[in-house]
Amino acid sequence: MQQQADRPFVTALARGLEVLAAFRPGEGALSNQELARRTGLPKSTVSRLSYTLTRLGYLQPEGDGGPYRLGLALL
């Protein structure tokens, strides 16, 4: 019922922004596991979000499949 009451709210976008907000100033790269812990989202969801955010340039992997740093698209 709450989705109907707040229909303009895009949950997937909010989750993606939660992943980006999990990074703290001066911090190194974060794994999907650490991002899941910090956001409270399931690791499978974080994996899909980090993949999408990487494809869009918002995250940058340090190796194959992470860990991730904030990408240049955020500038």
pLDDT band of 18, cuts 50, 70, 90: very high
| Residue 36 domain flag | yes
Q: What mean pLDDT do residues 11-39 have?
A: 96
How many domains is the chain built from? 1
Q: What mean pLDDT do residues 21-32 have?
A: 95
* pTM for this prediction: 0.86
| 2, pLDDT greater than 70 | no
Q: How does pLDDT run across 27-50, given as a tens digit for each residue? A: 999 999 999 999 999 999 999 999
CATH of residue 18's domain is 1.10.10.10
| Residue 65 domain flag | yes
| Residue 1 domain flag | no
| E-state strands within 1-75 | 59-61, 68-70
| Residue 43 domain flag | yes
Give the domain range for residue 57. 10-74
| Residue 2 domain flag | no
Q: How far, in Å, CA of 45 to CA of 71, rounded? A: 19
Q: How far, in Å, CA of 13 to CA of 35, rounded? A: 16
